[in-house]
Amino acid sequence: MLAIFADTIVALHVSYAIRATRSVPATSMRNVLRTIMESAEMMNRQQMDWLERLIGRPSRLVDFGGLSQSEVHAQAVMITEAVRRRLPEHESYVLMARFARDIDKCAGVYGVADHLLASGSPVTHREAITDLVWRRYLPREYQGGFSLRDIEGRTRVSKSSLGRAARWLDDECDEVELSALHHLEDMFVEQGVVRYTVMEPA
């Protein structure tokens, strides 16, 4: 059996998008992806463009061929539950912040903020760090109110301090994300869910 997803990043993007929809009314990849685009409010333009390129065309990234509606949904549940249950807590939070939507994304953001505050954050103001995490993980079109100047105005933490904290935060989150992706892909490759590792081209 061929793997459904090209790699773990694709698996997470698509699975969280499927979980964000109320239902998936058709079994074909074309209709599944169309439903995702129409229903997932938090999808950014880049993700929508990527999915639009998949609709109606053979894809090396996603193959739902032969799967029923319930099987597609079950795959999405399996992947998102692996994030919640099979990773260290801080790795779960960072992937939820990056890929999830709605309440799961909120839980991820606040979990990442708590982890950063406990990991030597150069800024210890909780609201400021939480805002910086939102700034990193919100799609660009939803980032109004999260500029460094906006955060400075709300928290009274200087813009220069916020800038240093944002750079530190990016380095920390990049490292945790990569570790989490590698932990997941060890499982997913073994289970035949994905074809490639994060560092290999699809």
The predicted pLDDT at position 39 comes to 53
pTM: 0.80
Note down the domain range covering 129: 88-183
Q: What are the backbone dihedrals phi and psi of residue 61, each rounded to the nearest 5 degrees, phi first?
A: -100, -40
In a domain, 161, yes or no: yes
pLDDT tens digits, one per residue of 122-158? 999 999 999 999 999 998 777 788 999 999 999 999 9
Instruction: Mark which of 84, 99, 134 sits at the end of a domain.
Output: 84
Band the pLDDT of 29: cuts 50, 70, 90.
low
In a domain, 124, yes or no: yes
Burial pattern 71-109, b for ≥16 Cβ within 10 A else e, equals ebbebbeebbebbeeebeebbbbbbbbbbbbeebbebbb
The predicted pLDDT at position 115 comes to 97
Residue 70 has pLDDT above 60, yes or no: yes
DSSP 74: H
Q: Which of 81-90, 127-136, 176-185, 193-202 has the lowest mean pLDDT?
A: 193-202
For the chain, the domain total comes to 2
28: amino acid identity, one letter:
S
In a domain, 17, yes or no: yes
| More reliable by pLDDT, 188 or 40 | 188
End-to-end CA distance of the chain: 18
- Residue 21 and residue 73 share a domain: yes
The predicted pLDDT at position 172 comes to 97
Residue 165 has pLDDT above 50, yes or no: yes
- Residue 100 and residue 60 share a domain: no
Band the pLDDT of 98: cuts 50, 70, 90.
very high
In a domain, 34, yes or no: yes
- What is the mean predicted confidence (pLDDT) over 78-91? 94
